[in-house]
Amino acid sequence: MVAKRLCISADSHVVEPPEVYDGLDKRFGERAPRMVEHPERGLITDHGDGTFGYPVGTFTVAGQDWGDPAVREKARQGFKLARPGVLNVGERMKDQELDGIDAEVLYPSVLFSIYQIKDAEIMQATMNNYNDWVYNYASQAPGRLFPLALVQLYDLDLAIAEMRRMANKGAVGLSVPCMAPADKPFSDPYYDRFWAEAQELGLPLTMHIFTGHVPNHGLPREWGQHAYTVAHAGMIRTIQDLVWSGVCERFRRLKFVPTEFDTGWVAHFLYRDDYNFGRMGGFRTHPQLKMKPSGYFHQNFYMTFEDDEVGIRTRDLIGVENLLWGSDYPHADSLFPESQQVLDRIFAGVPDEDRYKITAVNVCKLYGLPFEY
């Protein structure tokens, strides 16, 4: 009998309970983030500055059709109708087994919108609360749950201090905003000491969809739902800034992980980037680049996806070693509980070794997960 191969989700989530905000009101008063019951949107984060985050219930309806009005109504109930595995680690382990998953890299859900707060002290204090909470949560299932630590980038002293603290606790990586503030792009030398520290500690920097320091990935607010289709346009701006400014040349061991932006667009993007660099003369205007832009992508970037078959078909152009798969549990667009069936479909005709790299080996190497593969 052939032994079962590993299958690891590189993009799964916790759904944070109200306790992640405990104690912040004592420090910051009315400016402290907190969960409230909104009359129209249900349980939601009040940022303390007159703005609100995403309704909690939108993150708890795993594997259900978000286009169904009944599901949206259900989401207004917050945690009341959530799967038991959303908050209970033991039940989550049962869901892993049901979905054929051996381990998960954990991102937040509710706190995505916290990156929109402008006060760095409040933002990092909230993230520190989360970091402690999520590591206590994951400690209930050692070897099965690997959380990422959150940091903001407005105040690098606070960010680096928390990075070091969480590295000492065994963090496998960090979650940072997918888009920089409009007035301080990632190409700014301001960030260099943060990049240097992350590289020295060997911590990959993940950049999840909806985590930018600017709202809506820099797209027009009035676009509404259809902006989601091109959310990767914001990520392209970030990749371009990091590559063409020379950040990836100066920090060759630093790893960035754009997450949940899918991958089908990447091959064509890399083609255009190299065309611009070569045929259009980019190598002359950017002498700090010592290789083609695609070379820096393959050196510094990993991309996650759920069921993007186009990305699989173009994997040789993207780089098989640069792809990571995630189930997105327990969000509405999660593949749960049919991850294995979906993987069988999108990897049909693909060599087993490629599938295994993308669904297990790459994520283990990137984060140093303790598995034999």
- Cβ-in-10-Å burial (0-12, 13-18, 19+) of 349 comes to exposed
Residue range 82-98: mean pLDDT, rounded: 96
Phi first, then psi: give them for residue 131, nearest 5 degrees. -60, -40
Is the pLDDT reported for residue 71 higher than 50? yes
pTM above 0.75, yes or no: yes
The two structure tokens encoding residue 52? 């609100």
CA distance 303 to 175: 14
The pLDDT, as a whole number, for residue 2 is 41
The pLDDT, as a whole number, for residue 228 is 73
Cβ count near 291 (within 10 Å)? 14
Assign 14 a pLDDT band (cuts: 50, 70, 90): very high
Residue range 144-156: mean pLDDT, rounded: 98
> How do the domains of the chain map onto residue ranges?
8-367
The pLDDT, as a whole number, for residue 129 is 98
Assign 1 a pLDDT band (cuts: 50, 70, 90): very low
Q: What is the mean pLDDT of the chain?
A: 94
Residue matched to tokens 């069936």: 341
Closest CA to 194 of 245, 234, 251, 149: 251
Residue range 108-126: mean pLDDT, rounded: 95
Residue range 355-369: mean pLDDT, rounded: 99
CA distance 231 to 329: 20
Give residue-wise pLDDT tens across range 298-312: 999 999 999 999 999
Is 273 within 8 Å of 333 (Cβ atoms)?
Answer: no
Is the pLDDT reported for residue 154 higher than 80? yes
Assign 148 a pLDDT band (cuts: 50, 70, 90): very high
Residue range 73-93: mean pLDDT, rounded: 89
Phi first, then psi: give them for residue 81, nearest 5 degrees. -110, 15
Give residue-wise pLDDT tens across range 216-226: 777 767 777 77
- The SS3 of residue 159 is helix
CATH number for 8-367 (one of 3.20.20.140, 3.30.1240.10, 3.30.1540.10, 3.10.580.10): it is: 3.20.20.140
